[in-house]
Amino acid sequence: MEIEKIAVIGFGVMGREITRLCAQHGFKVVARDISDGILKAGMEEIKSGRWGLEKTVEKGKMTREEAEAALSRIEVTTDLKYACNDADYVIEAVPESLELKKKVFAELDEICPEHTILASNTSSLPVTQIAAATKRPEKVIGMHFFQPVVVMKLLEIVRGLLTSDETLEVSKRLAEQLGRVIAVVKDMGTGFPSIRLSHALAVEAIRIVEEGVATPKDVDIILKYGYNHPMGQFEFTDWIGLELRAKVWEEMYKLTGDSKWRTPPLMRQLITAGFKGDPKRWKGSRGGFYEYFGQQRST
């Protein structure tokens, strides 16, 4: 199966970055969201945001002609049927809610051609449960991109219980065409390896700070310069947003009943007090871990 047109459903942070990546690698992309305002803001971010095409051109990693060609391959719409009725591959990137994703996949199943593969960019939710909302579970797969998509090369491909060999192979081929480094994992309903490892590290980092052993900045220094992590856990949490990260963990707690997924008390308190993350990224936020502890961030 050859992929010519990709539909991206959801044009928030992840959806717009995935759209840009696909267009940059030669695919025609139609992105869909529920309002013209979201679509307009997303296109502005693709053009001139922190990881936008203009910045890429300025850094000499892409020519202006290549950037313009990528933009010409992107179309946006609020019409779900228009976006998907002739798509070969759909990547869903709506908020991390199992019920919402199941609703979207049921709609996609009705609209999309029989050959269309339906992929979810979920970072934690069971692909098998999402697939159960369709009549084509063999054509449903998880394609977990990492943020920022243009920088992070890893793509975690999640195979549901009924995902077919063909769907997996087509998805792997697409990932390679997008320049990703692939890790293929099974959906066991207990969280993907990436989220389990990330969660364990983040919770231990927060516990260290709660105990007064070290500050967020010192923990990040240890991770960056002792373990060669490109970004410390507190820098990452402030950047991606405390509420978003906590929502993923709480969703996993509801799904598994495992108390390890409960959001640490300090993080819950900060969210309640209005500390949503880096104020440069999160409008109305009082800051994140760094601001609360009165520390200067390096990123």
Secondary structure (H, E, C), 198-221: HHHHHHHHHHHHHCCCCCHHHHHH
Same-domain check for residues 174 and 246:
no
Same-domain check for residues 119 and 148:
yes
Say if CB 219 and CB 233 are below 8 A apart: yes
For residue range 39-71, list pLDDT tens digits in order: 999 999 999 988 899 999 999 999 999 999 999
State percent of the chain over pLDDT 90: 88
Instruction: Output the pLDDT for position 27.
Output: 98
Residue with tokens 């959806």: 15
Could you give the CA distance from residue 56 to residue 218 in angstroms, rounded to a whole number? 31
Domain carrying residue 218: 193-292
- From residue 176, alpha-carbon distances to 14, 149, 157, 170, 189 in Å are 19, 14, 12, 10, 26
Which value, to the nearest 10 degrees, does the dihedral of the CA atoms of residues 23, 27, 30, 31 take?
-40
pLDDT beyond 70 at 200: yes
Same-domain check for residues 144 and 100:
yes
In this prediction the pTM is 0.89
Same-domain check for residues 178 and 205:
no
Same-domain check for residues 224 and 269:
yes
Mean pLDDT, residues 193-208: 95
β-pair partners for 141: 119
pLDDT beyond 60 at 299: no
Same-domain check for residues 139 and 16:
yes
Same-domain check for residues 182 and 197:
no
Mean pLDDT of all residues belonging to the chain: 95
For residue range 151-194, list pLDDT tens digits in order: 889 999 999 999 999 999 999 999 999 999 999 999 998 889 99
Same-domain check for residues 16 and 153:
yes
Same-domain check for residues 201 and 54:
no
Identify whether 148 is preceded by a cis peptide bond (ω within 30 of 0): yes
Any domain includes 297? no
Domain boundary residue among 137, 163, 186?
186
Could you give the CA distance from residue 24 to residue 170 in angstroms, rounded to a whole number? 19
Domains held by the chain: number? 2
Runs of H (alpha helix) within the chain: 13-24, 36-48, 53-58, 64-72, 80-84, 98-111, 127-131, 165-177, 193-210, 216-226, 233-240, 242-256, 265-272, 289-292
Same-domain check for residues 15 and 102:
yes
Here the CATH number for the domain that contains residue 250 is: 1.10.1040.10
What SS3 state is found at 182?
strand
Same-domain check for residues 34 and 165:
yes
Domain boundary residue among 152, 186, 220?
186
Here the CATH number for the domain that contains residue 150 is: 3.40.50.720
Domain boundary residue among 157, 186, 215?
186
Same-domain check for residues 169 and 237:
no
The H or E element that residue 186 is part of is strand 181-186
